[in-house]
Structure 1
Amino acid sequence: MPSARRRSAPLSLALMGTFACAEPASPPAAAPPAKAEPDPIVAAKPRLIAAPETGDLAAIVREEAAREAGPLVVTVGAGWCEPCVAFHDAVKSGRLDQPLAGVRFLEFDIDRDKERLAAAGYKSRFIPLFALPDAEGRASGKQIQGGIKGPEAVEHIMARLGPLLAETP
């Protein structure tokens, strides 16, 4: 029997050493972090939508209005119009994400679309024109027009656009 003890002793010591050198157990893995809810302001950034170059303007506006919920504003501008370009660039850059969250701007060009715009009631002596459409896609009469040049162009538009957007259903 003494020989059996001698054989088991090294094995016992070896097993003890294994457990003594083992790394401590890892703490249980933390549950993965819950997915953060999307920031509603980021999720609802204002969008600039280029209007098709042809087709019935009122039908185009009606279809875009029905596409999703949220305010739709018909915008008329031109590449040579400084306030038009300043506003467009401010929206694209994200500078107006918060105050214009969820607003869609259906953009028309006065030089290309003048006749179609007039036929649907979107008339203005000045651009940019921001107009709310009626249920038929025609101009509702609720609009702002014109802007100023220079660094305050966007702020000038926004001061008047806010009250107009307040009139959206």
Structure 2
Amino acid sequence: MSTKTDEAAVRDFTGVEYWDQLARRSVLRFFLLAALYEQPMHGYGIAGSVATCCEGSRPTDAMIYPALKELQEGGYIACEVEPAGGRTRKVCSLTPKGERAYRAASKAWLNFLPHLVGCISRGPGMSARVMAVLAGCCGPQILSCSPEGRGNEVVDDGPHQVRG
């Protein structure tokens, strides 16, 4: 019989795959809320939206559907069955509680991001790489993000704004 200690011993913390999966799992609910904040979608559309956001790291159905069920049971999303080409599919949308959760999560990640960037930047040659990645994916406005200045900025994300 395997124990949690045995399982931890076989994990390879030196592999990028381990950290990629850990990161995807930790932010999945936030990405689901973010996708639905833009517009109502069905599960496959949500998966595509998250994959686009994560540079092709498409979450598996085994990750998405249990998380959607949890969000629905918590009252954060509402899902309706709609006909689609002779079949039916569930289209999910945020509830007012889900919108509040998205805004709260956005603020939390906005507060956390500068610290994460700071830790990553400590590695040899990483500071320039981090800034290039952030400028490329998030635009130049992300470069002004710092722990000292957080709390008063407005993040312009297109049709929505998140006030820190």
TM-score range, shorter chain: under 0.3
Please give the TM-score of this superposition, normalised by the length of structure 1.
Answer: 0.25
State which structure, 1 or 2, has the greater radius of gyration over its C-alpha atoms.
Answer: 1
If asked which structure has higher relative contact order (CA below 8 Å, sep 6+), I would say 1
Please give the TM-score of this superposition, normalised by the length of structure 2.
Answer: 0.25
Point out the structure with the larger helix share: 2
